[in-house]
Amino acid sequence: MTAAQGPDRVVVVGQGYVGLPLTVRAVEAGFDVVGFDVDKSRVDRLGHGLTFIDDVTDDDVAAALATGRFRPSADPADLAGFDVAVVTVPTPLADGAPDLSAVSAAATALAPHVRAGCCVVLESTTYPGTTEEVFVPLLEADGPLRAGRDFRVGYSPERIDPSNPTWGFRNTPKIVSGVDAGSADAVAAFYARLVDRVVPVSGTREAELAKLLENTFRHVNIALVNELAVFCHGLGIDVWSVVDAAATKPFGFMPFTPGPGVGGHCLPIDPSYLSWQVRRTLGQNFRFVEIANDVNEHMPDYVASRATAHLNRERKAVNGSTVLLLGLAYKRNSGDARNSPAITVAHRLLDLGATVLAADPLIDAAQVPPGVALVEVSEETLAAADLVVVLTDHDVLDWELVGRFADRVLDTRRRLVEPGTDRL
């Protein structure tokens, strides 16, 4: 659009951990943005200047609203008239297969509003082929316009890392692709106004697979060091010292650290998209993914077994013991508990009959499992616990206090340095 016509109109479908940071950045860049979500309560909160994710503050939302160029909406009629539409909806697994129902619903909702010259981008993580085989046909279903010929379609995988203090939406390189050269150029031009660097790739399938490779790489390497941690404990070797020593090599090695498992919106799910597609298309198993899934999914059970062993050494049973969990979010300095292994550990200990307390000042109380009492870290709660288990090492927790008053600790994150701390 020209300056006389006003700013380009952008629709962002999905206002969660991916869509909301994109929305706020697009408003900052001068776009007129509709933040669409089917969750009306979420839309209402945004309309009152309230956030619900770590990486966007209330002030950020209020500033976007104050420009007059941000309209949160749950009304499909507000999708009309867009120049660019970006779909950032969840793609969970259902019985081991990708659930594209939200992607399909978004494409169906956008289809009546597709017009010549517009651009539609899918950001949701999915298997290679989704953009061209699922997304495009739904966009084309309502009329004679065709992707590539009449309007532009592309894929640009999200790279959101909640609570990362170094890499945010703007300075993280953005992979861009299109169903044809014109679409690729349009997608690149849009994101070039939002981020410092765009990285064009040859096609949408390559872009879709690049996202899966990124997460599979991390998933597999975390599984490697998690299994190594289990073996090191049996061998009487400090796995953390081993990782530190290996990390001094300046080439050919990247350090990963063990923990109670993997969580969040990517690692427990995304690699399985690729495994599913390989099985469906080639009739083979993606063995690295299957093994990594098995190792990481069993880490909460391993942590529970280590907690049991620790209490046994004190001549105490899990049943009836008070266990204080430090951190329930899936990663440090975040309130995000999606697929958190800490939640699974809590369930395992409850099943074994423990009285489970948890301290996590960042998590929403609604995410705390039933049966778990949310408490503050204090001298009294630490001293009363038969065992303290460090699951998420938030900086806001008082670790000096924990070190002074927690007598029996199982630390899965190497946060404590006190002698006698039982490390993963």
CA–CA gap between residue 375 and residue 74 (Å, rounded): 36
Q: Which two tokens stand for residue 279?
A: 């099985």
Q: Where are the beta strands (DSSP E) in 213-369?
A: 322-326, 355-359
The last residue of one of the domains, among 202, 223, 255, is 202
In this structure, the answer to whether residues 277 and 406 fall within a common structural domain is: yes
Q: Is residue 3 part of a domain?
A: no
In this structure, the answer to whether residues 283 and 400 fall within a common structural domain is: yes
Number of domain units in the chain:
2
Q: Which two tokens stand for residue 120?
A: 């539609």
CA 104 to chain centre: 21
- Owning domain of residue 87: 9-202
| Catalytic position from the list 118, 119, 232, 266 | 266
DSSP three-state, residue 70: strand
The last residue of one of the domains, among 202, 231, 255, is 202
Q: Is residue 333 part of a domain?
A: yes
In this structure, the answer to whether residues 155 and 246 fall within a common structural domain is: no
In this structure, the answer to whether residues 250 and 327 fall within a common structural domain is: yes
Structure confidence at residue 7 (pLDDT): 64
Q: Of 141, 110, 107, nearest to 124 (Cα)?
A: 107
Q: What 8-state DSSP symbol labels residue 372?
A: P
In this structure, the answer to whether residues 268 and 410 fall within a common structural domain is: yes
Structure confidence at residue 2 (pLDDT): 38
In this structure, the answer to whether residues 355 and 271 fall within a common structural domain is: yes
In this structure, the answer to whether residues 93 and 142 fall within a common structural domain is: yes
Q: Are 224 and 256 in contact (CB under 8 A)?
A: yes
- Which run of H or E residues covers position 35? strand 32-36
Q: Is residue 346 part of a domain?
A: yes
Segments of the chain scoring below 70 in pLDDT: 1-7
Q: Would you tell me the crossing angle of helices 204-235 and 270-282 to the nearest 10 degrees?
A: 110
Q: Is residue 208 part of a domain?
A: no
In this structure, the answer to whether residues 186 and 256 fall within a common structural domain is: no
Structure confidence at residue 54 (pLDDT): 86
Q: Of 18, 115, 12, nearest to 71 (Cα)?
A: 12
In this structure, the answer to whether residues 133 and 271 fall within a common structural domain is: no
Residue entry with tokens 């009449």: 150
Task: Please compute Rg for the chain using Cα positions.
Answer: 24
- Which run of H or E residues covers position 422? strand 422-423
In this structure, the answer to whether residues 301 and 402 fall within a common structural domain is: yes
The alpha carbon dihedral of 37, 159, 53, 226 has a sign of positive
CB neighbourhood size of 14 (10 A): 26
Residue burial 142-154, b: 16+ Cβ < 10 Å; e: rest:
eeebebeeebbbb
What one-character-per-residue DSSP string does 215-268 give? HHHHHHHHHHHHHHHHHHHHHT--HHHHHHHHTT-SSS-------S---SSSTT
Q: Is residue 271 part of a domain?
A: yes
119 belongs to the catalytic site: no
Q: Is residue 222 part of a domain?
A: no
Which residues fall within 8 angstroms of residue 94, CB to CB, at 6 or more apart? none
CB neighbourhood size of 406 (10 A): 24
Q: Is residue 221 part of a domain?
A: no
The last residue of one of the domains, among 175, 202, 229, is 202
Q: Of 160, 143, 161, nearest to 151 (Cα)?
A: 143
What CATH number is attached to the domain comprising 169? 3.40.50.720
In this structure, the answer to whether residues 114 and 194 fall within a common structural domain is: yes
In this structure, the answer to whether residues 152 and 259 fall within a common structural domain is: no
Q: Which two tokens stand for residue 315?
A: 């001549």
Q: Which two tokens stand for residue 377?
A: 């870290």
What one-character-per-residue DSSP string does 95-155 give? TTEE--HHHHHHHHHHGGG--TT-EEEE-S---TTHIIIIIHHHHHTTSS--BTTTBEEEE
Q: Is residue 223 part of a domain?
A: no
User: Could you tell me which residues are beta bridge partners of residue 390?
Assistant: 326, 411
Q: What 8-state DSSP symbol labels residue 11?
A: E
DSSP three-state, residue 203: coil
Q: Where are the beta strands (DSSP E) in 190-255?
A: 198-200
CA–CA gap between residue 73 and residue 90 (Å, rounded): 18
Q: Which two tokens stand for residue 80?
A: 């009309």
